[in-house]
């Protein structure tokens, strides 16, 4: 069996779903524009620079989810999918995922984005397995806190090992493994698969891919 792993934001999508969700809530008037736009931009910049404090970022991202019932959040997410996400789905990204699925590879999306945002997007790509930052839930409502290890940097390696372990597998169980990503933040996982692929990479990842002889592709 072979394994295909896909980053989500700026890889299969032509943008960042975390960033777009916060902007969507700002434009709906759910979040106060001046405060949240500035923080959203700051965290996005830190992510690209490799200086992001994931716990601080998650506190910002998850707090609004604790304020509203799940039904309302799901209603907003449906609109978010139609207006923000569907236009960002890369046709070549969809084709790439479908090719791996047709080849009967075990496929998973591995993203630092929280599972509430990411799960409907994964379904849109036809991928059943999602390794995202999980959310704490009490009495059917999000608490605004993450659950378990955030799926970010080395956390993606940890989450992958946990998931495969539950299946009685490790990366070594697969005859080949792919990971597609645009970001240098994903170097810890890219280094562990047999086929690391840099997708429209940032400059740091582009240099690393060139130095290590990794494949570089564009899904734009």
Number of other residues whose CB lies within 10 A of the CB of residue 213: 7
**φ, ψ dihedrals at 84, nearest 5°:** -110, -45
Question: For residue 116, which of 83, 154, 71, 156 has the smallest C-alpha distance?
Answer: 71
The C-alpha angle 95, 10, 174, rounded to 5 degrees, equals: 60
Spatial contact of 168 and 200, defined as CB atoms under 8 Å apart:
no
The answer to whether 9 is a known catalytic residue is yes
CA 76 to chain centre: 19
The C-alpha angle 91, 6, 50, rounded to 5 degrees, equals: 110
How far apart (Å, rounded) are the C-alpha atoms in residues 165 and 169? 5
The answer to whether 103 is a known catalytic residue is no
- b/e map 64-82, b = 16+ CB within 10 Å: bbeebeeeebeebbeebbe
Name residues whose C-beta falls within 8 Å of residue 57's C-beta, 6 or more positions apart in sequence. 43, 46, 47
- Catalytically active residues are 7, 9
């Amino acid at each position: 069996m072979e394994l295909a792993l896909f980053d989500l934001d700026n890889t299969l999508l032509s943008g960042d779903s975390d960033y777009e969700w916060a902007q969507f809530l700002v434009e709906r008037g759910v979040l106060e524009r001046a405060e949240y736009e500035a923080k959203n931009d700051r965290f996005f910049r830190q992510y690209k620079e490799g200086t992001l404090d994931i716990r601080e970022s998650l506190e910002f991202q998850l707090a609004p989810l604790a304020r509203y019932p799940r039904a309302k959040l799901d209603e907003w997410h449906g609109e978010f999918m139609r207006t923000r996400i569907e236009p960002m789905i890369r046709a070549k990204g969809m084709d790439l995922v479908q090719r791996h699925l047709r080849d009967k590879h075990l496929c998973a999306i591995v993203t630092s984005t929280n599972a509430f945002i990411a799960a409907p997007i994964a379904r849109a790509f036809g991928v059943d397995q999602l390794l995202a930052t999980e959310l704490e839930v009490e009495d059917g409502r999000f608490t605004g806190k993450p659950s378990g290890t955030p799926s970010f940097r080395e956390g993606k390696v940890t989450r992958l090992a946990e998931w495969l372990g539950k299946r009685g597998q490790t990366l070594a169980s697969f005859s080949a493994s792919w990971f597609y990503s645009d970001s240098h933040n994903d170097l810890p996982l890219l280094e562990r698969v047999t086929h690391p692929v840099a997708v429209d990479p940032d400059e740091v990842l582009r240099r690393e891919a060139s130095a290590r002889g990794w494949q570089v592709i564009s899904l734009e």
